[in-house]
Amino acid sequence: SDHDLFITTTIGVALYPNDGESPKSLIESSRSAQKQAKANVGKNNYQFFSKEINEKVVDQMQLELEIHTAIEERQFNMFYQPKLDVGTDSVLGAEALIRWEHPTKGMISPDDFIPVAEKTGLIVQIGKWCLRTACKQAKLLLEQGVPDSLRIAVNVSAVEFAEKDFVKTVVEILKETGLQARHLEVEITETTVMNDLDESRKIIDDLRYQGVTVALDDFGTGYSSFNYLGKLNLDVLKLDRKFLSEAMGNERSRTLYAGIVAMAHEIKLKVVAEGVETQTEYNYVNSLNVSEIQGYLLSKPIDASRMTTFLLAPESRDFLAN
Ligand code: C2E
Ligand code: CA
Ligand code: CA
């Protein structure tokens, strides 16, 4: 009807007889190759079938199926990594980190399954579970006598954040678990906000209006855009572990790290130094007056019961003594 359409093509190629001896298996192979071609940047290209690629596609599909089962069979568990509040020299918070205990494959890293869960949309369901579990746990900790300044941080994926009712979901979960919003922190990344900066700003403002703390995660790698920092009303800036290790390695990165901490302070952001593994790193970030410190030096992520001990018995951490 007089409209111009601009279309692109993605082609998967399979060759007889190596890639399949029957029409059915040839088509399957070409589909698999096409799926891979679509996953490549830019699309609009072609891809020959290869056994290696096929294995990847099959693995991916297998993982998708297994995530479904994992949800049904409750194979997910929440771990918590304590954060040291430098001002009060006490542990007032923790980051909730999901763990998948696969019945045969053992522990599967979130770095491996979160991207698959995002692609299939399953992350929305998983994300709700994460929020609910962390909120319940925080409530329990408060009831057990953990100081009232407790704050549990939960990672929110870009797909969840973009859901129409995201803030509503958060509010509902807070209500359902009886946790006050000030005990919850939400961690998002730059990739989450960059899709639609204006919309992101609204969601962040909404969350903060509800009383939830908002942190920008993994800063110092990737884009590290000042544009986002200028436009979004954030509470916390989390500096990435890789950024810290680079800062320890060379003078120029060290200057950048210190500069970003100073700049964040100027715009009233709290800074969390992530991935503090050594006393040298600790001394360094401490000298920059960061607000909170997180990393293996203080504690690895631990299960809920160990975290309870950690929070209730400060003497269980003695690393700062040396
Ligand atoms: P992240 O949000 O940057 O989380 C920090 C990661 O660094 C965690 O890995 C933690 O175990 C690790 N880490 C903490 N301190 C140190 C340290 O001192 N040294 C080293 N080498 N590593 C340290 P983990 O638990 O494997 O999580 C990986 C990523 O998966 C997270 O990165 C986050 O992006 C994602 N993720 C984890 N849990 C969730 C979740 O519940 N929801 C969503 N959407 N994503 C999650
Ligand atoms: Ca995080
Ligand atoms: Ca991080």
Q: What is the pLDDT of residues 32-44, one digit of tens each?
A: 898 888 877 667 8
Residue 270 half-sphere exposure toward CB, CA atoms < 13 A:
14
Q: How many residues does the chain have?
A: 322
Each residue's pLDDT tens digit, 249-304: 999 999 999 999 999 999 999 999 999 999 999 999 999 999 999 999 999 999 99
pLDDT at res. 106: 95
pLDDT at res. 319: 56
Q: Which of 60-69, 91-100, 309-318 has the highest mean pLDDT?
A: 91-100
pLDDT at res. 1: 82
The pLDDT of residue 320 is above 60: no
Residue type, 233: N
The pLDDT of residue 316 is above 80: no
pLDDT at res. 42: 66
pTM of the model: 0.89
Mean pLDDT over 54-79 rounds to 91
Q: What percent of the chain has pLDDT over 90?
A: 81
Q: Element (H or E) spanning 249, and its range?
A: helix 241-249
Residue ranges near ligand 2 (ion) with Cβ within 5 Å: 155, 187, 217
Token pair in block for residue 22 = 């029957």
How many beta carbons lie within 10 A of that of residue 101, not counting itself? 13
Asked whether 157 lines ligand 1 (CB < 6 A), one says: yes
pLDDT at res. 74: 94
- Residue 239 or 91, more confident: 239
How many degrees, rounded to 5, is the angle at CA 112 between CA 108 and CA 116?
A: 115
321 pLDDT band, cuts 50/70/90, is very low
Separation of alpha carbons 205 and 208, rounded Å: 5
Asked whether 296 lines ligand 1 (CB < 6 A), one says: yes
Mean pLDDT over 217-245 rounds to 94
pLDDT at res. 254: 97
Mean pLDDT over 221-237 rounds to 92
Is 87 strand, coil or helix? coil
Mean pLDDT over 188-216 rounds to 96
Is 242 strand, coil or helix? helix
97 pLDDT band, cuts 50/70/90, is very high
The pLDDT of residue 204 is above 50: yes
Mean pLDDT over 50-73 rounds to 89
CA of 274 to the centre of ligand 3 (A): 7
Mean pLDDT over 208-234 rounds to 94
Separation of alpha carbons 209 and 32, rounded Å: 47
pLDDT at res. 322: 39
Which ligand is in closest contact with the Cα of 81?
A: 1
Mean pLDDT over 110-115 rounds to 95
Asked whether 97 lines ligand 1 (CB < 6 A), one says: yes
- To test ligand 1's pocket by mutation, which of 132, 155, 156 has the most ligand atoms within 8 angstroms of CB? 155
How many beta carbons lie within 10 A of that of residue 318, not counting itself? 8
Each residue's pLDDT tens digit, 119-144: 889 999 999 999 999 999 999 999 99
Q: What percent of the chain has pLDDT over 70?
A: 97
Smallest CA separation from ligand 1 atom 38, residue: 97
Residue 298 half-sphere exposure toward CB, CA atoms < 13 A:
30
Smallest CA separation from ligand 1 atom 32, residue: 111
Separation of alpha carbons 193 and 214, rounded Å: 12
Residue type, 260: I
Q: Which residues contact 300 (CB under 8 A, 6 or more apart)?
A: 81
- To test ligand 1's pocket by mutation, which of 76, 97, 246 has the most ligand atoms within 8 angstroms of CB? 97
How many degrees, rounded to 5, is the angle at CA 144 between CA 143 and CA 146?
A: 95
Q: Which of 2-11, 177-186, 311-320 has the highest mean pLDDT?
A: 177-186
